[in-house]
Amino acid sequence: MKRAVRILLRQPLYRYIIVGGSVYVAEIGIILLAQHMGASSVFAVGVSFWIGLVLSFVFQKFVAFNDKRTHHRVLVPQITMVAVLVLFNFGFTLFVVKVGGSHVPAVVSRTIALGITTIWNFYLYKTRIFKTSDELIY
């Protein structure tokens, strides 16, 4: 069993799912806490999104995609690309929450948006943002 787990953890997809699942649990907790404190659905999801973003970037880069490069020539383009992706994802997420707000709870709307963005994020992280090459690694 341990060997099977080790084999699975060699694959970026499985690490990506584990990291993403952990961040998702944290985000849901933040949404529920914020709403319990009186925040609107959109505000609660917005706050959880940004906290989840920081956690996700760090763990996706270093754990899921095993990209240990920290030189500014690598980090600045990665952060820029992630920022553009995040802005798009953020707008998409708020749109889904707004559209679904009167029909389903914020947690459900956020989960739907997260499921959709997870697919295109994995592709972009793997093929563009955290892709390592045979070139000089800083």
Query: Could you tell me if residue 63 is inside a domain?
Result: yes
Host domain of residue 30: 10-129
- pLDDT tens digits for range 40-71: 999 999 899 889 988 989 999 999 999 999 99
What's the domain count of the chain? Answer: 1
Confidence at residue 134, expressed as pLDDT on a 0 to 100 scale = 53
Q: How far apart are CA 105 and CA 41, in angstroms?
A: 8
Average confidence (pLDDT) over 115-123 = 93
What pTM does this model have? 0.72
| Residue 43 is assigned to a structural domain of this protein | yes
The reply to whether 107 falls in a domain is yes
pLDDT value at residue 84 = 96
Q: Which residues touch 126 (CB under 8 Å, ≥6 apart)?
A: 12, 65
